[in-house]
Structure 1
């Protein structure tokens, strides 16, 4: 028991000592920074010290403030109050000396003040009291020079230093405009290089020394990979970039290879909303350059939304080519269809717009709403809105989202006594109160918001997963199923929504979707006899015919009837069960938490190996099953676009942009913003608390 008591006592002493030391360190930190602003005058005379609990026994247990003029000790709980009572009100016998009075006007740096003994002679300068200002500046310069003269690390051997600088240059080149090369000129960065044993470096020399060689290396590697592939798909993204202040857009081109690899090809600066004829010309030139005269190597093009005539014209010139619209744009377009054409959405968005405008315009209502919003969410902002005569789909979506998010503060504001007084006097306030208290409005708002959220979530999945074209039909079937479930859940008639979905589906449908769906081994269905057969039963009669039409178009006229016979055999026999199960095997993906296909490339490889008896059908299948249904997926970077626009006639920025895009595609790096937030959220709460505590003392 005695040992336990000693142990507990020891722990308590340790905690007390730790708290005292923490308080001491905070005060020292505050004192070291208080060289000019409020509080600087008294910190020149008050010094934090540690006081031992008992002479020669234990650890420091208390933090005190010692007066540098008279050596008196005071509590450290309130330095400002101590300074006022002890120094200003005459408690210190030495504070009225010329030195201390001058220091109170404009003190020297704290670090230069030693503790002064009593009745010490005042410092007399030739220029009088005003010399103290110049003296403080001199001492501050000396302190900075001393702190910057830390001993550098020993220089690295030349080969090691060159390798390190080469890696630094690679990082700069791949980062593009995210890290400006000129930032290397910052004195602190140059000091960092000196500390780790690297020589000071010129940003221009470092970047340019690596840029051309690195660019040639990447281009050469990409061209070799494209040449080695039997065929490829051209992916183009950026034709539907929203107009900016400069009315320019970046269009990016990438190459999808059958082995699953995506290679960046190039980016070009063009006007926003480029005409279809111009897009057709640019795409045709890109295909010709990549194919080197043998255009059949291009299995197809996938591009984001512009008039489909450009894609159809290119496809008609090469019958084996499959040109598709990006499915991510199709789902995003469907949300805009809801905003423009769905009566329920128009009604709800109109009410939300009136409500948002009312809150923003009426000052008394605005104050009430912001007060409840602050209580509910911990922050306050006004709902987004738009002028009634200039309503865009994106604006309406934003208003609906904000009203849904701020539903509770809005409802609480309408029940506030001050609001009741307001709407008793004004008709608009009464109408808005009636709308807010209408349960039907909130039910309809929730159903519309839920519908948009449903499609947005699927669009986000498409962006992450980048599905192949064999998955297009299942994707739209899944959307229809979810919409029917939405209708049941919210007691809504989903007929109008389903009509809009069907219109958008037909607008984007391509016969290759159906052909890829039945030729992709991933979608084979096990029948009662244990055979794995293609899912022709899930096709409509017209889609079934599309399969035959596309296959005959994709082979020579002499091979057309053979291909159709092989298609009938594939339809009736399917694939060996062992190979089918191997293709469809799934495994857990730790990054998403979902089950994913274990070997995606097996969908194509099974046609090139164990299905070699289908000599004509095989040629069509291997070209179809690897095609992507979305464009290359480089996130549009407005800063990169502005940078390329400014340096449009310079080769170096173009090469840097190429290396940046190549690196992003190679790493599929779309999580930079999330990572940055994660880093910021890792700040230690204790450290923030210490900072807040120190700040409160100032």
Structure 2
């Protein structure tokens, strides 16, 4: 395979620009928090800025600008910049009241003078990391300096007889209410300013086109954030004030959920229908049958139409109450196919991919319609593989039993818990209970591996705890404690626990990669081969009986295997291999004899009755002659993905396009089969609902009118995200962001900046 070398410099530039932007965003985030009182004092005077490249205009570096003197510095070490520039007197305006006030004061702070000593106290007050004793002080909602005096030189009030209440020569009185009076004082000043200048300065003037465009984007954001952001938020006073500040008119929640939603839905529906009409065939994906909620709870099944060009189009959502029976699912799937075809021939549907009903509804529909290829979702297949290992592999069963005993003992026995918490606080800097799922361990096994994570994280505290004198005294009253101490002090237990954790990590990484890349059916065989190879390496590393692991793996593979895996693997030019003569041939050597027969049988079934024998003859020619080397290399060209840093296929659609163009004359019958086969997706996941949206949709389903609105919102949100190829989940992004903590995020920002 060849690499597109011309795109490497551009990709490198993109990566560098992305790193610069990431560092800039990180510094802006840190500065924003600091200004709110959650960071270092110097951020009130240092502002991150982007320096563009003179050649390309792309950002090439991040600098810090002093807001007092406009000097610019490297952003590699803001703390050192503050010490050298601000504290040591290099900045000419830092020590003077006017200069400091310009940076730290608010525009409406006419009542409040700036005093450098008071300013230092304000910094100490706001910096919670440096002054824990003041951290509990209430935060004033107005952006004003925390001073307890009034500046008579900037503000005076005249009485009825013209006497000045506060003169420039009078001593400023202390505020009797203390710090709490500062907010009221700022409000008083605002009132005086409004009385002096009754006409409020207008906001930025926007044209009607700009206003309509802005409100349209804002509405789309509300629809995509449904369940997380309430429609009632548009009537929140702060949100309305924001709209006024940026020059946008207020709009109501009824408008958002009424006429504006109807218009946006019709627009999205028209666009989605046009895309489906343009495609010669499609695949239906159904995700959500595998309900992770209680068996009697509601689940939301989303139906997506996968087009040959790789574009997914959301169709609808279905709320089911309880575990749906197979016959019901079969009827719903067929109704969805008929609805998408719109009265045309249902043979346009090349197949279905679903996260459930492989051996029932999917098989029945495939048997009734010979042109269909119905697949089980491979995301769910690998999740089931983890569950099968946890249930059937002896090592994991023993680790689960011992881990559950340890976690339950230290969670439920108060003296043992206190001892563990003492060592957790010393070793980890925090205390926590150990997650311990209740047996029997069926269904979702992720809580089991969460328990393994907790035990590995607390390995050192647990070992110290069982050596504690208080624990030895406890063992006299609780016999189970002595047995558990022997397990905890046994290196074999920790080795097995690490092995279980490693196995889960191997398969979880494959699942995460599949969610990001959405593999096609031709990738299934190589994917399972890759996982099997990794499991063999795992067995060698942790001295696990390979035959036991192979038995569990082979059972899962056999349960999920479909003959289309082998056929697509053979027909997809992406997997052609170069032989000694320079020809690019299909990889028959990687198939078993039974899989070779599956290829012949499947192509015979998919071809029309009159062309079946022709298709088989063309398949024999394809096997012996393969494809022109130039086109094969063009299909297999890879390039650097800037988002992940990995090499990806430059044009994923080229496998199908080469069959529709240069191979269509030579392999006329086989090409018709190939183009309908190799575009099929192996995973059902397209639009990923976050938990909040699922809960929101579930709450609407009992009211027909509310459910109609919910369907429209979900349709608009799903197709907006699918159009920009966003298959992520906001809640998972937030969890990843906050899992690292504020300090880790800051460190990551600085580390990234060192390479810029």
**Band the TM-score falls in, shorter-chain normalisation:** 0.7 to 0.9
Match runs of 1:637-676 below 5 Å: 637-648=690-701, 649-650=704-705, 651-669=708-726, 670=728, 672-673=730-731, 676=734
Q: In structure 1, what is the equivalent of residue 8 of structure 2?
A: none
* 1:205 and 2:205 matched: no
- The verdict on how the C-alpha distance between 1:359 and 1:21 changes in structure 2, with shifts beyond 3 A counting, is farther
- In 2, the alpha carbon distance for the partners of 1:534 and 1:293 equals 35
Residue aligning to 2:433:
382
Whether the 8 Å contact between 2:203 and 2:244 is mirrored in structure 1 is yes
After superposition, the Cα gap between the structure-2 partners of 1:11 and 1:554, relative to the gap in structure 1 and judged at 3 Å, is: closer
1:619 corresponds to = 672
Residues 188-267 of structure 1 correspond to what in structure 2 (within 5 A)? 188-244=238-294, 247-267=297-317
Q: For the residues of structure 2 that align with 1:340 and 1:395, how far apart are their CA atoms?
A: 14
**Equivalent of 2:399 in 331, 344, 348:** 348
- Indicate conservation of the 8 Å contact 1:586/1:596, yes or no: yes
Q: CA deviation at 1:642?
A: 2.6
Gaps of 5+ in 1: 1-7, 34-45, 52-59, 66-76, 82-108, 124-129, 689-698
1:470 aligns with one of 522, 540, 546: 522
Cα drift, residue 432 of structure 1: 1.4
Q: 1:520 aligns with which of 549, 566, 572?
A: 572
After TM superposition, the structure 1 = structure 2 runs for residues 8-27 of structure 1, keeping only pairs within 5 Å, are: 12-14=88-90, 18=94
* Alignment-derived partner of residue 411 in structure 1: 463
2:420 paired residue number: 369
Deviation at 1:678, TM superposition (A): 8.1
Change (3 A) 1:144 1:498: farther
Structure 1 distance, partners of 2:303, 2:723, is: 14
- Cα deviation code 1:343-402 (max 9, x no counterpart): 211111000000001111222221221222233333321111134467763443332232
RMSD between superposed Cα atoms in Å: 4.1
Length, aligned pairs only: 614
Question: Residue 587 of structure 1: SS of its match in structure 2?
Answer: strand
- In the alignment, is the contact (CA less than 8 A) between 1:24 and 1:63 conserved in 2? no
User: Quick one: distance in 2 between partners of 1:340 and 1:540?
Assistant: 29
In structure 2, C-alpha distance between the alignment counterparts of 1:131 and 1:429, rounded to whole Å: 59
Are residues 435 and 188 of structure 1, via their aligned partners in 2, closer, same or farther at CA, if it must alter by over 3 Å?
same
Report the equivalent of 1:441.
493
Residues 1:317 and 1:22: Cα distance change in structure 2 (over 3 Å): farther
Please state whether the residue corresponding to 1:176 is helix, strand or coil: coil
Identify the range of structure 1 (503-512 vs 336-345) with the bigger mean alpha-carbon deviation: 336-345
Query: In the TM superposition, what are the counterparts of 1:6-405 in structure 2 within 5 Å?
Result: 12-14=88-90, 18=94, 49-50=115-116, 142=188, 151-244=201-294, 247-291=297-341, 292-306=343-357, 308-388=359-439, 393-405=445-457
SS at match of 2:610: helix
Deviations 1:308-351 (A, max 9, x none): 21001111111010000000000000111112121211111000
Q: CA deviation at 1:426?
A: 4.0
| 8 Å CA contact retained: 1:320, 1:554 | yes
Larger CA deviation: 651-660 vs 254-263: 651-660
The 1-side partners of 2:605 and 2:212 are apart by 57
1:428-507 aligned within 5 A: 428-507=480-559
Q: What do the CA deviations read for 1:554-591 (whole angstroms, capped 9, x no partner)?
A: 11222111111111100100001111111111111111
Contact 2:566–2:599 (8 Å) recurs in 1: yes
Instruction: Single out whichever of 379-388 and 517-526 deviates more from structure 2.
Output: 379-388
TM-score after normalising by structure 1: 0.79
Report if aligned partners of 2:358, 2:376 keep a CA contact under 8 Å in 1.
no
Is the alpha carbon distance of 1:629 and 1:146 closer, same or farther for their aligned partners in structure 2, counting shifts above 3 Å? farther
Cα distance in 2, alignment partners of residues 581 and 221 from structure 1? 35
Q: 1:23 to 1:342 in 2, by over 3 A?
A: farther
Asked if structure 2 preserves the Cα contact closer than 8 Å seen for 1:240 and 1:306, the reply is: no
Name which one, 1 or 2, has greater alpha-carbon Rg. Answer: 1
1:680 Cα deviation from its structure 2 partner: 7.2
User: Displacement, 1:47?
Assistant: 9.5
The verdict on how the C-alpha distance between 1:341 and 1:639 changes in structure 2, with shifts beyond 3 A counting, is same
Greater Cα shift, 401-410 or 258-267: 401-410
CA distance in 2, matches of 1:663, 1:140: 44
